Structure formats: structure tokens, C-alpha cells
Amino acid sequence: MKKRLVYQHIFVTLMALGVILAGTCQVFAQLDNFQLAAANEYLNLYINPETAEAAVEDRASGKMWFTNPQDRAATSRGTVLQRLSSQFTIVYHNENIIEVAKDNYRYCITYEQFEITPIEQGVRFDYTIVEEWKPEHYLPQMISQERMDELILGKIASAKDQQTVLGVYNLIMLAPVGDGERLAIRGLDQDKVFGEYDVVVLNPDYLEQQETLAALQAEQAAAADEEEKAKLQSQIDKLQQQMNKTKEDLTLRLLRVIQGSRADLDKIDDITPEDMSQLVNTPTYLMAQVPAFRLTGVQAVVVETGYTPIDAGLDHEMNNLDPPLPNLEIFQVPIEYVLDGPNLLVRIPAKDIVYPIDVEDTLGEKYTFPLLRISVLEWFGAAGAEQDGYILVPDGSGALIYLNNGRINASAFNVPVYGRDNSLDLLKEVQNYPEIIRLPVFGLKQEDQAFFAIIEEGAPLARIRADISGRAANYNQVYAEFVPLPSGEISYRIEDVSSGRIPTYQARKYEGDFVIRFAFLTGEKADYAGMAECYRSYLTERYDFTPVESRPSIPFYLELIGAIDKLEPVLGIARTVTHPLTTFSQAQEIAADLGEQGIEQIQLKYTGWLRGGVNHHYPDQAAAEKVLGGEADFRDLIAFMEEQGYELYPSVGFMRVYRTSFFSKFSPRKHAARFLDQLPARAHRFYLDSFERNSSAFEYLLSPGRLPWLVDSFMQDYQKYGLNSISLFDMAREVNSDFVDKAEVVIDRVQAEQLVSEQLEKIKASGSKLMVDRGNAYALPYADAIVNLPTSSSGYSLVNASIPFYQMVIHGLIDYAGEPINLASNQTKAVLRMLESGGYPYFIGSYAESFEVKNTDFEHLYALHYRDWLDHAAEVYRVANEVLKDVQDQRIVDHRILADGVHQTTYANGKSIIVNYNREAVTVDGRWIGAENFIVLEGGVYEH
């Protein structure tokens, strides 16, 4: 009742404020049981105080979005209908370390265990997730006949329902043994257990059998014929056996119920006559052993009488049994819905999430039920089995899952944002899928409307999940799942006796907020181009982005490899040495050669320039590698690049520590992040031929808490070169926690993201231009260039198409390039992907011959020698410059898949590029496009 009273307060408040504008009454007519909770000039927010559903109306279009499908009752039933009626699902470990999932409909709404509270521009739901009493708790194991008649049977009008209850009970009592012999029961010392008493069965059918038995015995005594007596004796014996079996079964059932309902009784022999003294001459109902499904029906009848588990507990105590224990698995989860301009914010304040920690039962036993995951609004905007459209998932560059695509044999989409947290434990095998989620967004289009969601807070602890209709339910869905308490397993061994794995958890749960921002699109904007525009506008407003300046020619991204580790003979002994592939003076020569080929705007990322090469020493100083020419030659390279008008981005990695030594300022014990098992976190390399883990080749993962000191130390020394540009190899690639086992010092993954962002902001504020790798979303406000930006998705079986969604978001704001073209398995298609996505040419090379990396950790860089690809690079640059020069500062306003393997990209200035990935020529609207080729259309969107 409380939730309704609170809600009425919301409604009255809105009326007083005058925010209910014309047309609302008509909407109410369409929203049975929904009531207005908040409104602004863009949206109306409605809630159903009975079912805890929420709905959002786009005031301009009149389109409605619901947290739950409104036709679900017509398409589903049972547990599926329950899930479709829920707003979230929690997953936790029970006392047996088994994952248990509970949705808030089955375990909260049906029990009316939630409260509704008005908040500014919205409403808050506080849910208590618990089934405090199980069905069997409503039914006493033993209850006196007097209390059964008074509290239960006397309140049941239906004779059929009375029989439903009595059908699971037997009526018994204890009475003095008397002069007769007690029925012998094998293995049971009845004198010890029952003393001078015996079990008396009072079931009506048993009493009827007794009467029948007495009648047969009397008839036998009066019979004169021996044959008739023998016949009657046979009937007497048969009936006596049945009655003895009934009595034996009920006697043993009584003892088992007592022993099973008493924590202080380990076995039946521990029962004494005092434990059953209340049964002496007191008819009592004893619950029979029946299937659980029968108890559910009986419970429904008993609940209507007002009899509760508290009453059952009293009956247990009156019969010397332990009372039923209430469920300790009680969780509290809040959800807030808030209107923010044209968007809906859905917030879960994680600090207010409560899960059981060291809760005690009535016997003093302590239990903890760790909350592992929470899936939020799994059915928001879900599309039915007849809808057309698609789901947008941000895997790699972006991917589409067509609604109802029929791929029910494919695994559902379930991918963590920013990839794996490498501090959880050692990666055991090479990941099967090449891309990860870099942008914390998702969306769904159905017909002429779409929603687009941004995970605004808590993204590093999120997974994005999606599925089609026909598997979990008859709806297509996409949603976010959050991990408030990261967990894993650690191995143990007790000498040679036993071994295994036990769960372990982060020292505390995440204490921030989980926030999802929903935007709503209609008409022509209701597609993935509209979603990209929405995200671009969000980033621009939030981080004050300004478009890049259009230059006379496009950038050319060149990565040079300086020095690597290599086994070489030293005085006849094989030793790992720092081996040069491109010295500082050779880097000048390569840049000059590219310039002579007509390549302009060279952006040189120099990897392996620091002391130690690619796997450089702990970077507390910016020391140039001596085998490349040392500091003097490095300064000459800086001067040369400046004279030519090129940009130099020396590359450094802060997140991993490749080398340790006695004299290093890095201590694995003090400065490495911790695995959940409290060992220093490390990442192993893998053999390229077998994909097995190389146990001797690894890097330590730096604790995020050490990052500020390291960045400050390096940048202070880096200033000596007078450079205003730097490449950060790993800060936009991965986010790792520090699972140190103290709650006050643990660094969760959201805190780690914040620490990395702060370092990016600090470096940017120093006046440096930043080049980053891969491009996790938190790096976007600070990046001037991104290389190795994904140009496709991972190719999950459920996915229908890859799209350049990431590029559609940032084009014209940040320069970018995909993978190095000379390392691509198909260089022609790599060039086409570059043109389709609006990226710039990117090549990686060295002055040394490519065979120099053979039998090293860098064999994957198999086409390095720059003279092998110089002419090709010049041609790629010429083509790309001709196509992309006049769209450097332009937004991508549209992207379409015109046919299988034929994609079109359109810019704000009207220029369109159509690429054909097929091995055959195609004709699109009368325009011929050669095999694995492209055409450019000037002025206007290509109509098709």
C-alpha cells in the first residue's frame, strides 16, 4: 500500500506544477494502469505502481518506449512470462557456491516488496529481492489436531480444499503400550526411543481397517467350518500386514521428521521419549513425504487461511522441532528513472545495493551471498518476432544483428566493455575473437523508431548482451549487465590429500553508480547513422570537441620499429640483446624517402626508441636507446621532423612492465597490480605456432595506483627533448584493476579507468599532442590521433554485418587509421576498408630487412622492410589523398549496405564513396563498380 500512497504524491505534485500538458489524457487512455511520474518539454515518464514498469513518451512524435513488452501475456507463459515482466535480474553465489539467478518480478513484485519515491525529474524504485519463506515453510511438519481444526481446516469453506490439505498429512498420537506386544521394527530400539509408549495411527482409513479387522476376527471365532476359518485367517493376515506396514512407515516417518527437523539430533537413535512427550494422548497431524509440486498447491490453500510460517514455527516448537528458518538470501537494489532533456537516465546507485554479508541464521551459522551480476532492463524496447530492424552492438568498429535473423543455434552476444580485465587471473589461451568493445553503447531499431543507449557510468564493469527472438523469448533484446563484485577462482592443494578451486572476490563491491543514458530516435533518424550522430553530439557537448582543420593533404601514419630483443651470440654464448631495426638516423632517411615519393603530412610513431627497445625498461626516465644512436641522434631526428613539417610521436607504454632488475624503481611486490589470488598480476605471451602460453615470457601489470607517479616521472624527463607530441601505446587499449585484498586500497576497474583518464588529461594539459592505440572511449577527449582503430567486428555467428560505426562517430573530430596496410592479410580489402571508413593510410616498417624478426617475439611483424612497401604506400597515399582530402573535417552523415559486399559512405558536404568488396564487378543504380574497387560520387546523397 505504501508504494501507491507515495505515487499519489508524485501525481499531485505534477498537477500542481502544471506540467501535464494537452494530450496527456489521451495518452492515459492508451496506458492502462500507468500514471504520469515526471515530464519535461521533450518526454513524459510514466510508471505502473502495480508492476513497477516504466514507459517513456517522446512528446514530439508520440512514440512510446516500455521497460517490458506490453503484449507479453499473449506470447509467453510460465517462467518466460515472469522474466519478461522483470526490470532486472541478479546473479549471486549461494551457500554451495552455485550461481543463482533471481528476477525482480518473481522475487519482489509478486510479493509487493518495493517502494516508489519521487525524486527530481523522476522516480526511484527500491526493491527487496527475497522469497523469505519457501512453500514448505507454510506447512508445519507436525501440528496438533486441535490447532489444525482451528487455524486451518476451520477457515477453509471448500470440502475439496480441506481434502487437499489433509491429503498430505497423517493423524497419529502416542499411547501407553499396555499388555499387547509392540510391533517390531527392524533396526529400531523402540524401548529406548519410545519408552513405554507406542505410535497409534488415527487416520480414518486406518481406523476403518481396524474395524474391518475386528469384524473378521469375530467372524472367524464364530465360524464352525475349518475351511471358512482358514479363508478368514488369510484375509486377516493380509489386512494385518497392510496395517503393520502403514504403522511401521508412519513410525519411521515420525522419527525421520523429528531427526531431520532438529539440528541437535545427528541420528534417529539420539531421539528420546521426552522429544515426543507432547504426542501422548494428543492427536497430531504428521506431514507425509510428498513431491514438492504437491506442496505448492497445498501452500496456496493454506495461505488463504491466514496461517503463516510464523504460526508453523510455533507449531514446530510445540512439537519439539526447530522452527522453519527464514531465507537469508535478501538483496536490496534501487533503480532511478530520471528525465534529462530529451534523454532518459536509468541509474543504479551501487552504494545502495545490499547483499547478505555474514548474516546469521537462528543457529548462529554465518553466511555470505556475494552479488556477482545485475542485468538491467533486459527487455527495454524489445522488438517482437514480426518486427523489422536490427540491434547495434559496438564490437570492434560496430556490428548489426538483424532482428529475427533465425540464427538460434549461434551463441547470444555477451561481450565485456573494454575487453578482459587482465588482473582477474592469467589468460589461459589466445582469445578467439580479434576485436573487443571500445565504445560503451548499444541500440535497437524497429520499424521507424529506435533507441540508443550510452553507458555513462560504470562502463568498465559492464557487459553488453544481445539476443534474437526464438531462444530465450519471442523478442529481440539488447541490454547492459553490470558486475558490482568481480570474482574468480583460486587453486588450492592440501599436501597429496586433495586439491581444487575455490571462489574469491574483490575486497569490496563497486560503490559508484551504474548509469545508462537512453536517447530516442524517430523517422529518418531512426537508424545507426542517427545513433552515430547522437553519440557524436553527446561527446561534443560533454567534452567540447572542435572539428579538425582541413589541411592541404591528408595525414600519412608511419610506425617505425626501433630496437627489439633478439638472441645473438656473444663470445660464443647465445644471449638476449637489444638489436636495432631502425636507428634514429635511418628513421630520417625513411621519412625523406617517403617525402620524395610525394607523401606529405607524415605522422611518425616511433616504437622501440626507449632504452630496451619495444619491450623497454621501466619508463621512469625518457632515455633514448643507445644502439639506435643515443640521445644526440634522437635530437637530430626531432630537428629533422620539425624542419620537414612532420609530426614525431615517440611511443611509450606505461601499463605493463616488460623488464625488471635489481636497480629498477619497479618492485613487483610493491607496484604490480594484484590478481584475485593476491599474486602479482602479469600477462604472458603466446607462441604463434601453437597458441600455447609461454610461461617464461611475460609482463607485469602496473597497479593503476602507481600510474600517476610513473607518468609524472617520465614526462618530467621527456621535457628535455622539447617535443610536444607523444604516442601512448597501451593507455587506450586496456583497463586493469588492482585486486589487493584490502577494501580501503583496492582499485576497482572504474577507478582504474578514472586514473588512466586523469593521466591522459594531465599529458594533454601539458601541451602535448596525443596519439593512442585502439581507442577506448575514455581516451577520446584527449586523443589527436588513433591508430589501429578497428575497421571490422569480430565476426560472431549471431552478427549479420560489420559497419564503421566508431568512425561515423569521430570522423572530423579525431584523425585515425586502421591496421597497418602492409600487415593486412588482404591489402586490397584493407585499402577499401580505409576508404569506406574515412581512415588514413598507415604502414609499419623498419630499415632492416624483414627476416631480422625471425625467431623473435616479433615474428608477427613479417613485412617490415620499408623498401618492400614504399611504392605501394605512395600509390595508396595518392589515391586516399585524392578521395579523402576534401572531407577531413566533414562528418559522416550516412552509411548504407547497398548489397552484399557493397557499402556506401556519405559525408556532410555531399561526397559519397561506394566500395565493392566482391571479386566480381557490380552495377548499382546503373553505376558500374569494378571488382574489389570503388567509385566516388560528388554532390548529394546517392539515391537507391
- Residue 187 CB partners (closer than 8 Å, separation 6+): none
| pLDDT reading at 633 higher than 50 | yes
- pLDDT tens sequence across 273-286: 999 999 999 999 99
The yes-or-no verdict on residue 19 having pLDDT over 60 is no
Q: Is the pLDDT of residue 94 over 80?
A: yes
SS3 content of the chain, % helix, strand, coil (to 5): 30, 30, 40
Among 69-73, 90-94, 144-148, 696-700, the minimum mean pLDDT is found in: 696-700
Q: Are 452 and 519 in contact (CB under 8 A)?
A: yes
pLDDT of residue 625: 98
Longest dimension (CA), the chain: 135
What pLDDT band is residue 425 in, cutting at 50, 70 and 90?
confident
788: number of Cβ within 10 Å: 20
Enumerate residues 6+ apart whose C-beta is below 8 A from 868. Answer: 822, 850
C-alpha cell at 647: 609530426
Residues 49-63, mean pLDDT to the nearest whole number: 96
pLDDT single digits (tens) 527-565: 999 999 999 999 999 999 999 999 999 999 999 999 999
| Cα→Cα distances 366→194, 353, 358, 361, 550, Å | 35, 20, 5, 7, 66
Supply the pLDDT for residue 31. 80
Higher model confidence: residue 25 or residue 447? 447
- How far the first Cα of the chain sits from its last, in Å, is 58
CA distance 253 to 356: 35
Sheet holding 725-728, edge to edge: 815-816, 785-787, 769-773, 725-728, 647-652, 602-607, 556-561, 842-845
Buried/exposed code over 553-576 (b: 16+ C-beta within 10 A; e: otherwise): bbbbbbbbbbbbbbeeeeeeeeee
Can you list the positions of beta strands (E) in 274-397? 284-287, 331-340, 343-349, 359-360, 366-367, 371-376, 383-384, 389-393
pLDDT band, very low/low/confident/very high, at 497 (cuts 50, 70, 90): low
Q: What is the pLDDT of residues 835-881, one digit of tens each?
A: 999 999 999 999 999 999 998 889 889 899 999 999 999 999 999 99
CA distance 14 to 10: 6
pLDDT, mean of residues 449-471: 98
**Residue 5 confidence (pLDDT):** 40
Whole-number percent of the chain with pLDDT over 90: 81
Kind and range of the H or E run holding 570: strand 563-570
Confidence of residue 430 (pLDDT cuts 50, 70, 90): low
pLDDT in tens, 159-202: 999 999 999 999 999 999 977 778 899 989 999 999 999 999 99
Average pLDDT over residues 253-261: 94
Whole-Å CA distances, 491 to 412, 430, 677, 699, 741: 30, 21, 9, 22, 17
Tell me how crowded residue 140 is: count the other CB atoms within 10 A of its CB: 32
Among residues 933, 896, 904, the alpha carbon closest in space to that of 918 is found at 933
Predicted pLDDT at 18: 44
C-alpha cell belonging to residue 856: 623473435
For residue 22, pLDDT beyond 80:
no
pTM for this entry: 0.85
Please give the pLDDT value at position 27. Answer: 43
720 pLDDT higher than 70: yes
d(CA 401, CA 545): 31
Mean pLDDT, all residues of the chain: 92
Instruction: Name the band, by pLDDT with cuts 50, 70 and 90, for residue 361.
Output: confident
How confident is the model at residue 310, as a pLDDT? 87
- Whether pLDDT at 30 is above 70: no
Compute the average pLDDT of residues 136-152: 94
The sheet with strand 35-39 has its strands ordered as 35-39, 43-47, 54-58, 64-66
Domain residue limits, the chain:
135-318, 890-944
Locus of grid cell 505410535: 199
* Maximum average pLDDT range among 565-569, 683-687, 885-889: 885-889
pLDDT at 522 over 70: yes
Three cell numbers, residue 803? 559497419
Range with the poorest average pLDDT among 26-35, 735-744, 811-820 = 26-35
In the prediction, which pLDDT does 501 show?
82
Distance between CA atoms of residues 248 and 937, nearest Å: 93
Is residue 724 within 8 A of residue 769, CB to CB? The reply is yes
Better-scored residue on pLDDT, 502 or 132: 502
Q: Are 458 and 510 in contact (CB under 8 A)?
A: yes
Phi–psi pair at 211, nearest 5 degrees: -65, -40
Indicate if the pLDDT at residue 912 is higher than 60: yes
**Confidence category of residue 759, pLDDT binned at 50, 70, 90:** very high
pLDDT score of 178: 79
* Mean pLDDT, residues 129-158: 90
Mean per-residue pLDDT, 279-303: 90
- For residue 8, the model assigns a pLDDT of 45
C-alpha cell at 423: 588482473
Query: Is it the case that residue 247 has pLDDT exceeding 60?
Result: yes
Q: Which residue has the higher pLDDT, 334 or 492?
A: 334
Query: What b/e readout covers 20-52, taking b as 16+ CB neighbours within 10 angstroms?
Result: beeebeebeeebeebbbbbbeebbbbbbbbebb
Integer Cα distance of 157 and 491 in angstroms: 59
| Structure confidence at residue 79 (pLDDT) | 86
How would residue 939 be classed by pLDDT, with cut points 50, 70 and 90?
A: low
